[in-house]
Amino acid sequence: MPIGTQTDNIHSSVKTHALYGTLMRALDKFEAFKLGGPGIVALITPANQTASDYASPVRTFLYDGVNGEEADTAGFVCISAKEKPDRAKNEFESRCSDKVRAIVVAETRDLPPAIVVAVDTVIQLGPIEEGDLRAACQSVLKLKVSANQARKLLAFPQELMISALRRNRSASEILNRLKSISPDVGLGRPMGEETPLLEELHGYGDAKAWGLQLAADLKLWERGKLKWSEVDRGLLLSGPPGVGKTIFARALAQTCGVFFKATSVAQWQSKGHLGDLLKAMRADFAAAIDNVPSIIFLDELDSIGDRNTFSDEHASYSIQVVNGLLEVLDGAARRDGLIVIGATNHPSKIDPAIRRPGRLDRHVVIGMPDVGDRVAILRQQLGADCSFDLEELGPLTEAMSGADLAQVVRDAKRLARKEGRAVRLSDLTSQLPKLILITGAYRRSVAIHEAGHTVVGTRLAHGKFHGVYISKQLNPRFALQNAGAAAFEVPVLSLRNEKHYRDEICVRLAGIAAEKLILGSHDDGAGNGPRSDLAQATHLALDMETKAGMGERLFQFGQGTSWDEFGPQQVPWLMDRVNQILLDELARARDILEQELPLLKAVSEVLDKLGSVSPNRLEELREAVKGGGRRRPFNNDVISNADKFRAGNDVTTGKEARP
């Protein structure tokens, strides 16, 4: 490209002035050159800028105040990412190689060897920052912009933002104009006042820690102090509905101060046939790439499916959708500044290739908020309206998600507005579902059931025992929920032989065995739902017979762990084998419980009265029944909050309840 020798006026446009600021900041890393010394510098553009964007700023830097003869000793060249290596090499040699001072502006670090060995240093250009934009607006438009306004302006697509900047418009008016643009026109949604910062969110555990580290790493990357390859930039979020996966992604973008694009497979499908879907998918990723640093959020990612399970007449369509997503994910991995976050309620239904290294390889589970987090969420949702103590609402909101709690606060505020007064604690309690207390004969059956898991699990040393509890109440809004659970932590790496499988099945069925032993029969809590004890035990037995080579037939067939795949009528022998494994392990669990009957009764008695048994209390009970000693009073060493050990354990056995 031709090099002008006349000084470009950086005051001619906001964009040029702002980019000049980023250029000066980058050259601080080669101070001798910045002060007029000799050298050849390679500048790498941010992903949302082209090399030619810097032509005017570079001209100004090299030739401002320089006479014709001295100007001949300086040169520069702009190299696009699509430039052929030979052409880039020739351009460099003709414009820069014989110069005393030269700048190479490139969109990629993958430069021809002749350029790589010639340059003295390679510097990453940073993005336009708040200070750059404020200075440019003041100089070019005589427009005062606050730091907060500049941050909001930079959240919009750059070209859209630049177009909105005009003389005689206030910063507030410009922001309002930009906010009025629909998401389809704006290619994304900038973060507004209603989006909280990640630091302000509660109940996000490891996800919040990951996000805050990402925000810190982004700042280092933007300053050129961290390579993009060292940034953890792909995340899969999973968790039940209502825990706030989308809110997390928006809050993360707000904290990072980056462009945010939310999309989903359903949105892509709404555009039309397969070609339209793939086009919409690529367009969303292109929008995020054009506005890096940015976050693209893929909601309900399990809708994409798993190619291993596609078997119907639509398999070809579904496979092409998965392949299309893998293609754009790989493209995203090669673009500095782009973070991809996927969200799902069912991580097991996502194609394994999507979770491979370089794609969404980091998986974080967002669980239901614990009692402390629930109180904090209520307090945050109430904001200035919170003038009373909320602690008593913690236990009353058990099993409620962040979305549930937000709805409670909205309903309470609406009730207070209707009556023309401030929100009261009673407004909140009136919006809570009428919880069903677990009492009487049902509570005793739950206690016996969970005691069975506890006794058999510890007898078989099936992982580290963390405790056992009974829920105080059930929430009628949920079809299925735990009435209680015994928690065991199993090592990540363990010998998963036939004994391991059978021991886990035995522990899973120990609740049923305990109920049959003491009560004569068991209720349906052990078999309600896909995560129930009986369902898990069945899947393990099915795996033994069809996947692990631990059955009567030494072969592997099928892909999943569900009866639906095999068709029980077609393989009746499989039903018989799985049933026999379950019967054998149920009998073994009963044998263990008969041997440990005093301990089983002691644990169930404490559970019935207090609602929980800690590991230390279990050992005391074990010693007491061995020696026929006296058990200490019930009011000592009680686990007052099951949340303390409920989260983060690998194997949790429990009784499902259906209110």
Whether residue 25 contacts residue 46, with contact meaning beta carbons closer than 8 Å, is answered with no
Token pair of 553 as six digits? 């037939």
Q: What pLDDT shows up at residue 562?
A: 55
Residue 505 belongs to a domain with what CATH number? 1.20.58.760
Q: What pLDDT shows up at residue 560?
A: 54
Residue 5 counted as domain residue? no
Q: Would you place residue 567 in the very low, low, confident or very high pLDDT band (cuts 50, 70, 90)?
A: low
Q: What pLDDT shows up at residue 520?
A: 94
Q: Residues 71, 155: one domain?
A: no
**CA–CA separation, 353 vs 359, rounded Å?**
8
Residue 380 belongs to a domain with what CATH number? 1.10.8.60
Q: Would you place residue 311 in the very low, low, confident or very high pLDDT band (cuts 50, 70, 90)?
A: low
Whether residue 391 contacts residue 268, with contact meaning beta carbons closer than 8 Å, is answered with no
Domain edge (last residue) among 124, 141, 167: 124
Residue 334 counted as domain residue? yes
How many domains are contained in the chain? 5
Q: Residues 417, 399: one domain?
A: yes
Token pair of 139 as six digits? 């100089």
- In percent, the amount of the chain with pLDDT more than 90 equals 48
Mean pLDDT of the chain: 85
Q: Would you place residue 499 in the very low, low, confident or very high pLDDT band (cuts 50, 70, 90)?
A: very high
Residue 450 falls in the annotated catalytic set: yes
**pLDDT higher than 50, residue 326:** yes
Q: Residues 468, 568: one domain?
A: yes
Domain edge (last residue) among 124, 143, 169: 124
The CA–CA distances, whole Å, from 213 to 231, 233, 336 equal 9, 11, 17
Catalytic residue among 83, 129, 130, 450: 450
Tell me if residue 253 falls in helix, strand or coil: helix
Q: Would you place residue 37 in the very low, low, confident or very high pLDDT band (cuts 50, 70, 90)?
A: very high
Rounded to an integer, the average pLDDT of 20-47 is 92
Q: What is the pLDDT of residues 268-287, one digit of tens each?
A: 988 778 888 999 999 999 88
**pLDDT higher than 90, residue 530:** no
The CA–CA distances, whole Å, from 151 to 104, 154, 161, 338, 590 equal 30, 5, 12, 18, 65
Q: Where are the alpha helices (DSSP H) in 240-314?
A: 245-256, 265-269, 274-290
Q: What pLDDT shows up at residue 574?
A: 82
Q: What pLDDT shows up at residue 641?
A: 40
**pLDDT higher than 90, residue 223:** no
**pLDDT higher than 70, residue 638:** no
Q: Would you place residue 189 in the very low, low, confident or very high pLDDT band (cuts 50, 70, 90)?
A: very low
Q: How many CB atoms lie within 10 A of CB 514?
A: 31
Strands (E), 157-270: 234-238, 259-264
Task: Please classify residue 434 by burial: count the beta carbons closer than 10 Å to its beta carbon, then call 0-12 exposed, 13-18 middle and 19+ buried.
Answer: exposed
Task: Please classify residue 658 by burial: count the beta carbons closer than 10 Å to its beta carbon, then call 0-12 exposed, 13-18 middle and 19+ buried.
Answer: middle
Strand partners, 102: 40, 75
Residue 186 counted as domain residue? no
Domain edge (last residue) among 432, 460, 485: 432
Residue 187 counted as domain residue? no
Rounded to an integer, the average pLDDT of 279-302 is 89
Q: Would you place residue 186 in the very low, low, confident or very high pLDDT band (cuts 50, 70, 90)?
A: very low
Which domain, by its residues, includes 561?
A: 440-657
Q: Residues 445, 427: one domain?
A: no
Q: What pLDDT shows up at residue 575?
A: 84
Sheet of 121-124: strands edge to edge? 74-79, 101-106, 39-44, 121-124
Q: What is the pLDDT of residues 574-615, one digit of tens each?
A: 888 899 999 999 999 999 999 999 999 999 999 999 999 999
Ramachandran angles phi, psi of 264, nearest 5°: -160, 165
Q: Residues 411, 472: one domain?
A: no
**CA–CA separation, 341 vs 363, rounded Å?**
10
Please tell me whether the overall predicted TM-score, pTM, comes out greater than 0.75 for this model: no
Residue 226 counted as domain residue? yes
Q: Residues 36, 89: one domain?
A: yes
**CA–CA separation, 344 vs 353, rounded Å?**
16
Residue 1 counted as domain residue? no
Token pair of 119 as six digits? 């340059």
Winning range, highest mean pLDDT, from 169-178, 283-292, 328-337, 447-456 = 447-456
Q: Residues 546, 617: one domain?
A: yes
Q: Would you place residue 526 in the very low, low, confident or very high pLDDT band (cuts 50, 70, 90)?
A: confident
Q: Residues 504, 651: one domain?
A: yes
Q: How many CB atoms lie within 10 A of CB 80?
A: 14
**pLDDT higher than 50, residue 551:** yes
**pLDDT higher than 50, residue 145:** yes
Ramachandran angles phi, psi of 341, nearest 5°: -125, 125
**CA–CA separation, 92 vs 39, rounded Å?**
14
Ramachandran angles phi, psi of 234, nearest 5°: -135, 130
Residue 346 belongs to a domain with what CATH number? 3.40.50.300
Rounded to an integer, the average pLDDT of 298-320 is 80
Ramachandran angles phi, psi of 349, nearest 5°: -90, 5
Q: What pLDDT shows up at residue 558?
A: 63
Q: What pLDDT shows up at residue 27?
A: 94
Q: What pLDDT shows up at residue 654?
A: 63
Token pair of 548 as six digits? 């692990």
Q: Residues 459, 516: one domain?
A: yes
Q: What pLDDT shows up at residue 479?
A: 64
Which of 488, 484, 512, 513 lies closest to 500, judged by CA?
A: 488
Q: What pLDDT shows up at residue 637?
A: 44
Whether residue 586 contacts residue 549, with contact meaning beta carbons closer than 8 Å, is answered with no
Q: What is the pLDDT of residues 59-113, one digit of tens each?
A: 999 988 777 677 788 999 999 888 888 999 999 999 998 999 999 999 888 889 9
- Please state the three-class secondary structure of 430-472 as a single string: HHCCCCEECCHHHHHHHHHHHHHHHHHHHHCCCCEEEEEEECC
Q: What pLDDT shows up at residue 104?
A: 96
Q: What pLDDT shows up at residue 178?
A: 86
**pLDDT higher than 70, residue 569:** no
Rounded to an integer, the average pLDDT of 115-131 is 92
Residue 628 counted as domain residue? yes
**CA–CA separation, 61 vs 50, rounded Å?**
18
Q: What pLDDT shows up at residue 272?
A: 79
**pLDDT higher than 50, residue 2:** no
Q: Residues 318, 413: one domain?
A: no
Q: Residues 520, 392: one domain?
A: no
Place of tokens 């609406």: 414
Q: Residues 315, 392: one domain?
A: no
Residue 2 counted as domain residue? no
